[in-house]
């Protein structure tokens, strides 16, 4: 059994980025934890108390669909993580890593347009630095549509080098994405259910599979 930690800036990123892979890990008997850096709605107007409750309910439903039993909310300011000293973010994340002791960590690509995604990536890379005793053996970054593909050309593009077969888990990924119906958009927006399916097919077809999720390996330690 492997211990897996998914570090997502916002609830829905975990599904869009690696929902099929989460489901696959759970089916294989791995222990999966998800840490959310923000509540995902703090930057919005209106009654935030209602928005927070709705987003939490969607998150719980999505995690139930994927089979995840343990999650953590760090509650940094939504879309304002750059207003917090990076050291504070790292230290809180280190606390989660000390509790979970993950073998493998999935998180955001460092070139994403969204500032919270980029800071989450920086915090993960630092918190998981390969010091003696660090449990993390592998770090992979995922793509999140409406952020990864919208980054300007000057940043490092998302160029995957690992593809995980999710042919048997694509429907669960789509169901989990459907739990976030208020966050999803209508086609032809890149963050729509149709595109979740098309992207999985594209990534799969790229490597001779029926459906896949793509990742960039940041570090892999083979002991």
- In the chain, the domains with their CATH numbers are 3-220 (3.40.50.10320)
Instruction: Give pLDDT, residue 40.
Output: 81
Instruction: Give pLDDT, residue 122.
Output: 98
H helices of the chain, where?
13-27, 48-66, 86-100, 115-127, 170-179, 193-205
- Interatomic CA distance for residues 115 and 174, integer angstroms: 26
Residue 44 has pLDDT above 70, yes or no: no
Residue 46 has pLDDT above 70, yes or no: no
197, two tokens:
């399916």
Instruction: Give pLDDT, residue 115.
Output: 97
Q: What average pLDDT is seen over the chain?
A: 95
Q: What pLDDT digit, counting tens, does each position of 65-103 carry?
A: 999 999 999 999 999 999 999 999 999 999 999 999 999
Q: What pLDDT digit, counting tens, does each position of 161-190 carry?
A: 999 999 999 999 999 999 999 999 999 999
- In the chain, % helix, strand, coil (3-state, to 5) comes to 40, 20, 40
Instruction: Give pLDDT, residue 51.
Output: 85
Residue with token string 């969607």:
58
Dihedral sign from CA coordinates of 119, 120, 124, 125: negative
Nearest 10 degrees: Cα torsion 10, 107, 128, 219: -170
Residue 43 has pLDDT above 60, yes or no: no
The average pLDDT across 130-157 equals: 95
Instruction: Give pLDDT, residue 42.
Output: 61
Give residue 176's Cα distance to chain centre: 13
């Amino acid at each position: 059994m492997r211990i897996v930690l998914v570090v997502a800036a916002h609830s829905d990123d975990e599904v869009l980025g690696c929902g099929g892979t989460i489901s696959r890990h759970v089916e294989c008997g791995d222990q999966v934890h998800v840490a959310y850096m923000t509540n995902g709605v703090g930057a919005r107007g209106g009654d935030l108390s209602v928005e927070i409750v709705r987003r939490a309910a969607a998150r719980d439903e999505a995690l139930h669909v994927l089979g995840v039993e343990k999650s953590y909310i760090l509650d940094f300011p939504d879309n304002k993580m750059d207003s917090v000293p990076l050291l504070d973010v790292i230290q809180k994340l280190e606390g989660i890593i000390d509790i979970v002791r993950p073998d493998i960590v999935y998180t955001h690509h460092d070139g994403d347009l969204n500032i919270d995604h980029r800071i989450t990536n920086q915090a993960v890379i630092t918190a998981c630095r390969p010091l003696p005793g660090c449990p993390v053996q592998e770090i992979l970054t995922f793509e999140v549509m409406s952020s990864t593909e919208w980054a300007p050309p000057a940043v490092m593009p998302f160029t995957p080098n690992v593809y995980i077969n999710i042919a048997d888990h694509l429907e669960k990924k789509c169901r989990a994405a459907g739990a976030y119906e208020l966050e999803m958009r209508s086609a032809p927006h890149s963050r729509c259910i149709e595109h979740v399916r098309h992207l999985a097919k594209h990534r799969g077809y790229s490597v001779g599979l029926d459906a896949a999720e793509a990742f960039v390996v940041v570090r892999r330690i083979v002991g």
